[in-house]
Structure 1
Amino acid sequence: MTASRILRPVIALAVLAALGILLWFATRPPPLIVQGEVSANRVDISPRVSGRIAKLNVDVGDNVEAGAVIAVLESPELTAALHMTEAALSVSQADLARVNSTRPETIDAANAELAAAAADVTLYQEESARQTRLITTGASTQAQAEQAARNLEAAIRKRESAEANVRLVVAGSSKEEKALAAAQVEQTRASLNQQQVNVSELTIHAPISGQVTTRVAELGENFSAGAPLFSIIDLQNPWFTFNLREDLLRGLKVGDDFDVVVPAIGPDKTAVKVTMINAQGQYATWRATRATGDFDLRTFEVRAVPIKSVDGLRPGMSVIAAWSER
């Protein structure tokens, strides 16, 4: 009888405890699960010059290394412009060489003119001296002596002119002409450099290592500058992005760690680190002011990167995080 009296309260307490536990589990709020997705850098590749697709080296799904040639364009207009500029540079360089030098034949001709002028001076000097002697003996007139003096003076002036011409020929063109010719060479060389850059842009290189996800280019098709040809994603550096209401960010800061699960890969948890918390431009539609009488809650983008490399991550895969367990 005594044992029965003791067991009854114990059983009652056990039943009450069990009911309390069941009630706690029944009323406990479910764990908060947030969903995000895998993202990665994507680069859209466009030509800087217009041209026709002459060669395609990659297709959708191909993995490429940074710097690899993925396409080649052709442009007869750019090639012709390059050849024209090369010819113009040759012409300007030849003109610069011309103004900076004098042909030996020109110098020889100027020296010959100077020698002839010097010979005339010698001749007229002798004639003037002879007329001076003759006039003292009466064998020549004053007019003849004056004419000989004028001839000598003209010969001297001609010799001076020939000497100046020799100096001019030896010196070549003026400083202004040389400067102009040099400037024309530099201008043409700059134009040639630009044409060479334009032609080099006909070869399209992969700017990053990654996988080709889009190919718009078709062989033989014309594309203008800036038109997209390929898209490449960087699969080596993916990240996870979540769009969360600001009331879910309590205590979260850049550098924090938490675990996520990528269902497409498996049930294993992956540790990630928060790298960015950035406000979005819109408001969370499920928490409007008029519906709750509270203030609007903005949506923030939370970006995190895996602490360790995870194989198989692809942009667009879903990511699950038990936010209440963070």
Structure 2
Amino acid sequence: MADLDSIVAEIAHDMRGITERGHVADYIPPLACVDPGKFGIAVMDAGGGAHVAGDADEAFSIQSLSKVFGLTLAITLEGSALWTRVRQEPSGSAFNSIVQLESEQGIPRNPFINAGAIVISDILVSQLGRLGARQALLDFALSQSGAPEGLFIDENMAQQERETGFRNAALANYMRTFGNIRNPIEDTLDLYFHQCALTMSCRQLAGIGGYLMTGGVDLHSGRMVTSVSNTRTIMALMMMCGHYDGSGAFAIRVGLPGKSGVGGGILAIAPGLASVAVWSPGLNAQGNSLLGTLALEKLVQKTGWSVFNPFPLSVQKIT
């Protein structure tokens, strides 16, 4: 069995030769300018070792990937009461759909569609205040990354999110009519837009995902970030809902809990084994990274890390 450094290098080499890369998101101007030729991959193993290739150290906007971190903070602060305001079910709809909210009384299907993430932002604003919640998200990412230099909230991106976020404003206002947004709309959306503007590299993203791999333990400090139960819940939601209406296909192809963002990043977790981040800005029809998904599929084929594999490889067999 080849080692992880060889595997990620081979995957990055294979990705360079692929011409069909999807389409970069163009509804937020800064995303439209990203080079579709970029590809990065980083694997953080259970021992804290980083295995990287391609553009793994180039920063990018993680967009909806940040919903995982917002949910982690909210479920840790709010506990099971959170689930009275957002459900735990796949939506089967696009990430920014409004159609289900009316029939379901303003309760979003899950925390990873935009409506659900806006409710999570509202909960964090209630708990920590608008600026306090923003700082808590940034501090969480910085502390978990293991390499905080160059990890930041891009204020220009947040402003562009605000200026183009008409549908998100509609979602928030509509949920407020049902009493499911409890703070001023501008405060809740301010946090949501700044959360989506978190910017980091694949190496940093894989490092942050380490707490999901370890059952809630910070790989770098050994500190408990959140409970084992919360970690299980978050990863179950990632598996069912992390790729919106492409979640089922991702589960079949890759077989790992994963969360995508329209910036082209994907975070995937092999429980107990690895935290994996890939980045390629070209998206498929569901808004998920085209090459990123293919790269994760190849990684799982080479390592056996799919949670559906009846004979998964142990971390000792692949280092």
TM-score normalised by length of structure 2: 0.16
Greater share of residues in strand: 1
Q: Which has the larger radius of gyration?
A: 1
Kindly indicate whether structure 1 or structure 2 has the higher relative contact order, using CA contacts under 8 Å at least 6 residues apart.
1
When you count helix as a share of all residues, which structure comes out higher? 2
TM-score calculated relative to the size of structure 1: 0.16
